[in-house]
Chains A and B, each alone.
Chain A
């Protein structure tokens, strides 16, 4: 009996220790985020002081005369990300419906596995592939329609981004489509609904929240994607006027110029772009949370 009491006392001590440890880890994560934020603010301070809010809407990016405005990169990031999302979403949805609802397990399982593999390919490999394969393809297309045949540019970057985020959006959507209860589908079939009517009116509305979450997750990836985009976007720091233009995104301009920035203000301006990207990513994630809460079934 004494033994047992002793043991229980020890157990309680271990429990308390474990709880503290878990708590500490939780706090650490929050501290890390705050730390990153403050570092970005501190390092970008010279640029914030020099350009103020003007930084957000002026279009001149001139490292020689040390005049910096970030609008071209904001625009580049938003255009490539949303264009990629628009291109990827229909395919992601169709693929997810096929894998989650239509395909027999013998087909769905290996295909799903390949899609998860796609998500794991390093982005530099996507970039290389895009340079060797997509760029000539886009150039050929541009010549056909009479656009400037750069091959590189906003459109190509969007295309490679779309391919990169497709597996994310698709596998999340497939997972939530699989979670739709069988008895709801059977209820639809028992009322005489066809497979498509069941998918359209029962499966998709039920899975809507999860599908949207997957799309926003994919958007988050697209906003921050650096390597593959830097390789094919053309790296031109001016305001783009069409989707065939060479351009830069926030991430690609940082990657391109960070090692060459010798002036303090130039470096600070690049860090400020990083700060903006950080804020945009946080906001997108917050919106995603809101969307999920607002559209959740029940």
Chain B
């Protein structure tokens, strides 16, 4: 289906692990400044799909991609992966702040790792800005120079979101970002996602159907590596076109 203002567009995208084809001929457009949920049963390729979008997939031995992925009309498979990953940030399933760095350093990791030097005031501003966007500033502003690992799981995940946002990406990929968190922390992250879509496009893999219903504008449904259904979330949820989507939504398989 056509979407207004697509930021990502894939054409006949296939992803492999060795001989195994994990993503099969996916052609889809992802709209800008919207939350797109990627859903489907375990092993359907949804995580692989988003890992293609920032070219993290190809880091695994034997992994490769064919087809085209356009980010604002540039084929990212032709670009330097470093540039792609600066423009497309990622938040992982388990919170993974760098344990050897302080909270402050974690937020600036996108600069520190690449050896980019910042002036003191500029660094302070980026840290505060990113932590505010991630709704974590008030909780950590007095402990910025302590290690991030003493924070709760939900705080750590928001720290990881701040770390990703600090380099001003155009897209934020989230791979089941709340699956390791308790309900309260989950709710905080969900509220955050809805707020963030004003500044960044979000593609979120989720297992949690009510969550997709609450936060997403569009839903992509994957089954055995194929994209079965894509459309506005309300439409996909109330009036699925493919029987397999309906079966999944009604809990016939998971």
Contacts and interface: CB of A to CB of B under 8 A. Distances in A.
B100 A188 contact: no
Contacts of B163: 187, 191
A202 B164 contact: no
A104 B60 CA distance: 11
B112 A190 contact: no
Given A190-B85, A193-B113, 19 more contacts: A104-B61, A105-B61, A183-B94, A187-B163, A189-B59, A189-B85, A190-B56, A190-B90, A191-B114, A191-B163, A191-B167, A192-B83, A194-B82, A197-B113, A197-B115, A198-B113, A201-B109, A202-B98, A297-B99
Contacts of B199: none
Tell me what chain A mostly uses at the interface: helix, strand, loop, or mixed.
helix
A183 B99 CA distance: 12
A89 to B, nearest CB: 20
A190 to B, nearest CB: 4
Contacts of A194: 82
B110 A192 contact: yes
Nearest to B115: A197
Contacts of B86: 191-192
Interface string A173-197: 0000000010110111111111001
Contacts of A104: 61
Interface residues of B, number: 28
Given A187-B98, A190-B85, A298 B149 contact: yes
Contacts of A189: 56, 59, 85
Nearest to A181: B96
A184 B98 CA distance: 7
27 contacts: A104-B61, A183-B92, A186-B56, A186-B96, A187-B92, A187-B96, A188-B113, A189-B56, A189-B59, A190-B54, A190-B85, A190-B92, A191-B86, A191-B109, A191-B110, A191-B163, A191-B164, A192-B86, A192-B114, A192-B167, A193-B114, A197-B114, A202-B98, A205-B100, A297-B100, A298-B99, A298-B149
Of B83, B98, B149, B167, the most chain A CB neighbours within 10 A belong to B98
Interface string A206-227: 1010000000000000000000
B31 interface: no
Nearest to A193: B113
Contacts of A197: 113-115
B154 interface: no
